[in-house]
Amino acid sequence: MVDMKSNLLRSEEYKAWLADIKSKVRQAQLKAAVKVNTELLTLYWRLGADIVAKQKNTKWGDGFLLQLSKDLTAEFPDMQGFSRRNLELIRQWYLFYGVFPIAKQAASQFGQQLVAQITQIPWWHNIVIIGKCKNIDEALFYVQNTIKHGWSRSVLVHQIESGLFTREGVVAEYSLSDIHKPIGISQYKLARSLPKKFKSNLPSIKEIENGLSDCG
């Protein structure tokens, strides 16, 4: 038995096979964690929509979140996401993005795409983003880059506070703006907020008018 163990540990084939198994286990763990996170955040999104609707359509008063927190915590003691503070954050998260009427949101292509993206990143990444970003375009820029680059929360905070969205404003505008607008006009609308090094590349009003005339 000892010789077999020793021989296995020296076998390059065994080492390679073991490394492959370990890699597959880690990938499975990661996929499971991502799926759990996505399911939890999808639940949060729906809960946020429900909370906003109840606050609008009932007369339960400001204390109902506290009561809801107590009831959910009693029913699900192993879950840590039902504190009054977190329920309020869930509500704020939904309101930050919930620009469409609740009844139409599920059928909205934009709403579906939005939820699919924001539920791919961890909860506290989401809270950092809505706390530090001024609008949905900026927020989605950081959501998409977090997905793409796998940023930790500290890296995400650094990128937001260093103004990455502003520095890459042209790219962000084209990825998030209405693709049916003439490109010259989309660029020109950004001119006042762009760094000087980008402004020289933008068309003048006269150039835009001439371009549109040529198209006609």
State pLDDT tens for residues 174-198. Answer: 444 444 444 333 333 343 344 444 4
Sole residue written with tokens 């996505």: 38
Q: How confident is the model at residue 108 (pLDDT cuts 50, 70, 90)?
A: low
In angstroms, the CA 45 to CA 98 distance is 10
CB distance 115 to 45 below 8 Å: yes
In angstroms, the CA 206 to CA 185 distance is 11
Q: How confident is the model at residue 63 (pLDDT cuts 50, 70, 90)?
A: confident
Which two structure tokens, joined as six digits, stand for 106? 């599920």
- Alpha-carbon distances of 216 from 164, 182, 198, 210, 212, rounded to whole Å: 38, 13, 28, 10, 6
Sole residue written with tokens 């084209």: 174
In angstroms, the CA 162 to CA 167 distance is 9
Of the CA atoms within 13 Å of residue 26, those in its CB half-sphere come to 6
Which two structure tokens, joined as six digits, stand for 199? 């402004």
User: If residue 65 lies in a helix (H) or strand (E), which one and from where to where?
Assistant: helix 64-75
More confident site: 148 or 200: 148
Which two structure tokens, joined as six digits, stand for 80? 């840590």
In angstroms, the CA 75 to CA 85 distance is 18
CA torsion through residues 78, 83, 89, 94, sign: positive
pTM over 0.85: no
